Amino acid sequence: MHNSCAESVALVSRLAAMVSDLTGVDVVVAPPYTALTAVAAVLTASSIGLAAQNVFWEERGAFTGEIAPAMLKDAGCRYVIIGHSERRQYFQETDETVNRRLKAALKASLIPIVCIGETLAEREAEKTFAVIERQAREGLNDLSLDEIGRVIAAYEPVWAIGTGKTATPDQAQEVHKFIRKLVAQLFSKEVADRMRILYGGSVKADNIDQLMAQTDIDGALVGGASLKADDFARIVRFRV
């Protein structure tokens, strides 16, 4: 919940100019709902994709405050974030509702970025893998091979979001490897090998290189560092 329309447009305009020559990396921004249309207009001539921060599972109806998939597409979105830890923490998002939102997004041909991750209490209780497996099994339940092939996963340890703490590259890699193996079990090795698994947990310009050097980390879900064009551009231009 950052930036007015004007501020969002200024930020994205600067970012677009800084990464315009970049190839081989997909960049996506997820401004607030109120800035989606304005940012979409700025990105018309850019390769940067537009995402929403959430989506509802119904196509229309009396659901005050919610946003339907078609509305997001109409605003210019190609991607949508689903199940972010803050949605789970503050707004009672569950694995079941993540699954419903995911299916609605896929039906509307949006590319979902589905977030999973454990809390500090769960990590300290050595429940990380049990939590990740439950969230993945229930969140990705009843998807076809075509549908799972369009899903982007994001591991975001809740204990490393907004705290300044970051999972070490080895800790992040361990969980990413687990997620990829789990997807292979649930669907197929081919699907798992192709799936992009992003890391999201206090990703910054000064730790992106070490994170991206890991075998199973395919990208980053960037939080606070995305609010500064210079930092975001450096993250996009990671070096391994």
**153-168 CB burial, b ≥16 within 10 A, e <16:** bbbbbbbbbeeeebbe
pLDDT at residue number 240: 81
HSE of 64, CA atoms in CB hemisphere, 13 A: 0
Domain 5-236: which topology?
Answer: TIM Barrel (3.20.20)
User: Which SS3 state, helix, strand or coil, does residue 155 take?
Assistant: strand
Kindly state the greatest CA–CA separation across the chain: 49
Question: What are the residue numbers of the active site?
Answer: 84, 156
The pLDDT score that the predictor gives to residue 159 is 87
Q: Which two tokens stand for residue 46?
A: 């850019």
Each domain of the chain, given as residue ranges in start order, spans 5-236
Residues 6 or more apart whose Cβ sits within 8 Å of residue 101: 54, 55, 56, 57, 82, 83, 112
| Interval 226-235: pLDDT, tens | 999 999 999 9
Torsions phi, psi for 116 (to 5 deg): -140, 155
The confidence score (pLDDT) of residue 165 equals 74
**Which residues of the chain fall short of a pLDDT of 50?**
none
